[in-house]
Chain A
Amino acid sequence: MTDKKIRVLVAKPGLDGHDRGAKVVARALRDAGMEVIYTGLRQTPEMIAEAALQEDVDVVGLSILSGAHMALAPRILELLKKNGQDQVKVFIGGIIPDEDMPRLKEMGITGIYGPGASTDDIIKEVREAVEP
């Protein structure tokens, strides 16, 4: 009997301290039956990659409201790849200007959610990304 659950890492990289969005998403994913590893604030890219590896997650969700996404995203993607986890899907939520979105998608970010994004959409797209 297998008992598979989708495992999602929710992390806030960098120095911004606004975690309400991350917590809302964490609870929504839990309510959708997923197991959410919540790592809290002030995570470095190295800490995020390390947690993603140890927890063997399917998805990494980054909450970034500081504007540092163009530096943080590629670094995290690079570390995941280095650790042999390039199949992990990375989503970003927070404050991301429209003009940065195409570049982020090119880098390999699977989904980007701004303020007002619906948790139903997030849940649906996370599921589709993991079980296509």
Chain B
Amino acid sequence: MSLTKSILEGNRLALARLLTQVENDSSQGRDALAELFPHTGKAHLIGVTGAPGTGKSSLVNQLALHYRKNTDKKVAIVAVDPSSPFTGGAVLGDRVRMRDLSGDEGVFIRSMATRGSLGGIARKTASVVQVFDAAGYEIIIIETVGAGQSEVDVARLAHTTVVVEAPGLGDEIQAIKAGILEIADVLVINKADRPGVENAERALRSTLELAHPIKRVFRHHGKSMSIAAPTADPNIWIPLIVKTVATEGKGIDELSESIAKHAAHLHQSGDWTARDRARLGSEMEALLQEALMDRFLDDIPHKEYEEIIEKVIHRNLSPSEAVTFLLNGNLR
């Protein structure tokens, strides 16, 4: 039986093996993914990101448990950890926090190393997610590296992005920094039993206010004034803030409800399909760029390419002139 067929029939070894092929970008992997692609599009992709030490893995553990207890959906978790830029190796330790999920055949945890990617997930994470989607995992949680503000790639991949904060990590300043807060659909303050929770919440709420000012209508009634309740624009999603203590399972119901609300909003506003289009569109572009580069460079004799580089080094050609030359055969 082909690998693809086995996977569609629920064979977990076949699934694990294909994930490896896809991660390694082998031709077998690409072929199988092409066969499986028509079966994708059913999963809800949930990204979980946030600085190290905020408790992401524990939160993912609890969230997965919650879905398994309250639905009969299969849950896949892709946990990404950084590769060493010097040795290319990695220690992938997110499973340590997920022991509660072991023994459940409806859960599949896969650890991935970034292998040089810098945005918080690996280059092949999107493809790995597609394999899980085709294999019938309707909830796919992608846990990012967790280096902080630079981790925005997961927002492009996921439908719902959960950003995890914890009190006492300099929230007042962190909350205002660009990047991570702008991608949050749900903001979690984990370790909410620690001091500083109120400050953290206040800082986050005021940042959200700055980013999404709510129009308020001021009404004069002669001497008094009232402020009418703001009418929410159904097309704007204002991130929900949830407090959790992941290690105790507290706040997980609210988190799951918030995620569900966001999913409902996406479907209702048409954003779900818009995000799918953006995601698949940018994946296609990335693949096209790679393929075009490879093809173009294959067509240039190595010696000729090296000669052009030498000209740039000797300041006879600027880098952009060199590219024009390569593309047009001359300098115009």
Contacts and interface: CB of A to CB of B under 8 A. Distances in A.
Nearest to B92: A37
A71 interface: no
Interface string A35-59: 1111110101011001101111000
Given A1-B25, A5-B88, A50 B13 contact: no
A105 B249 CA distance: 44
A84 B12 CA distance: 10
A15 B125 CA distance: 35
Interface string A74-98: 0000000001110000000000000
Given A53-B12, A83-B13, A85-B13, A36 B95 contact: no
A31 B99 contact: no
A72 interface: no
B25 A36 contact: no
B96 A38 contact: yes
Contact of A27 (B91, B96, B111): B91
A40 B96 contact: yes
A56 B83 CA distance: 18
A70 interface: no
A7 B19 CA distance: 13
A109 interface: no
A51 B19 contact: no
B89 A36 contact: yes
A18 to B, nearest CB: 16
Given A5-B113, A47-B102, A35 B87 contact: no
A25 to B, nearest CB: 11
A36 B90 contact: yes
A73 interface: no
B68 interface: no
Nearest to B115: A3
Main secondary structure of the interface of B (DSSP, over half): mixed
Given A46-B102, A51-B95, A33 B88 contact: yes
Contacts of A112: none
A2 interface: yes
Interface residues of A, number: 33
Contacts of A5: 88-89, 113, 115
A56 B90 contact: no
A26 interface: yes
B26 interface: yes
A84 B15 CA distance: 13
Contacts of A33: 87-89
B319 interface: no
Contacts of A32: 87, 89
Interface string B105-142: 00011110101000000000000000000000000000
Nearest to A38: B93
A34 B89 CA distance: 4
B95 A56 contact: no
A4 B110 CA distance: 16
B109 A54 contact: yes
Contacts of A3: 23-25, 115
Nearest to A31: B87
Interface of A: 1-5, 7, 26-27, 29-40, 42, 44, 46-47, 50-51, 53-56, 83-85
Interface of B: 12-13, 16-17, 19-20, 23-26, 83-84, 87-93, 95-96, 99, 102-103, 108-111, 113, 115
